[in-house]
Chains A and B, each alone.
Chain A
Amino acid sequence: SQQGEEDPQALSIQEGENATMNCSYKTSINNLQWYRQNSGRGLVHLILIRSNEREKHSGRLRVTLDTSKKSSSLLITASRAADTASYFCATDNRRAAGNKLTFGGGTRVLVKP
């Protein structure tokens, strides 16, 4: 699999339920970021977690990072219809010059009202 692979590829839930998606990566990283993209739009930065952090919260979002397993999870609690979007994880490769990001293929989340 590629660096920054999300799982599942698609997720359909009812409004009010929680949505969990996972991301796996291969190389050592400086940080991992999660982005949201509404259909046909640009990316919105959600949260950045550093390699020395294990968990981070932002509003209804909870991100975990397990560097030993090279994986991260994004939890959206009490989902809303407006959360319908594609969610991408992106890793900042420790060996790369600057901080170019490597994106996964995304998880498409549909929240049904």
Chain B
Amino acid sequence: NAGVMQNPRHLVRRRGQEARLRCSPMKGHSHVYWYRQLPEEGLKFMVYLQKENIIDESGMPKERFSAEFPKEGPSILRIQQVVRGDSAAYFCASSPYGQEYNEQFFGPGTRLTVL
């Protein structure tokens, strides 16, 4: 059973370009979480999705950021018109349920560098 997969592992974009980060949860997991980690800091929650639904996007910046988890295919975190401050590691995690005692399994992350 493959773990959480994220691609690309490294992404370089110039200011103003778009970044698309993909996350394939573990098999059988229908809950996906996105987190952002700035250098030397802990992870910050961004958004929680189930298939075709955004459940909690309280950690998402109001502009330029969007996320989806379609019925088929991976979850996508999309950042439009990237700025240098978007440079960070973006981690996806999945869990089988949204229940309170389920651990989250993390992917290896996508390291975004904005030039």
Contact = CB atoms under 8 A, between A and B. Distances in A.
Contacts of B48: 97-98, 100
A49 to B, nearest CB: 10
B69 interface: no
Which range contains the number of A residues in contact with the other chain? 20 to 34
A32 to B, nearest CB: 11
B104 interface: yes
Contact of B43 (A43, A92, A94, A98): A43
B95 interface: yes
A31 B45 contact: no
A45 B41 contact: no
B12 interface: no
A30 B95 CA distance: 16
B1 interface: no
Interface residues of B, number: 28
Given A99-B98, A100-B48, A45 B103 contact: yes
A99 B104 contact: yes
Contacts of B101: 30-31, 48, 50
B72 interface: no
B56 interface: yes
A104 B93 CA distance: 17
A4 B55 CA distance: 23
A35 B91 CA distance: 13
A113 interface: no
A101 interface: yes
A98 B55 contact: yes
B56 A100 contact: yes
Interface in B29-50: 31, 33, 35, 41-45, 48
Interface of A: 4, 30-31, 33, 35, 40-45, 48, 50, 88, 90, 92, 94, 96-106
6 contacts: A43-B91, A48-B103, A97-B48, A99-B100, A100-B59, A103-B42
Interface of B: 31, 33, 35, 41-45, 48, 55-56, 59, 91, 93, 95, 98-109, 111
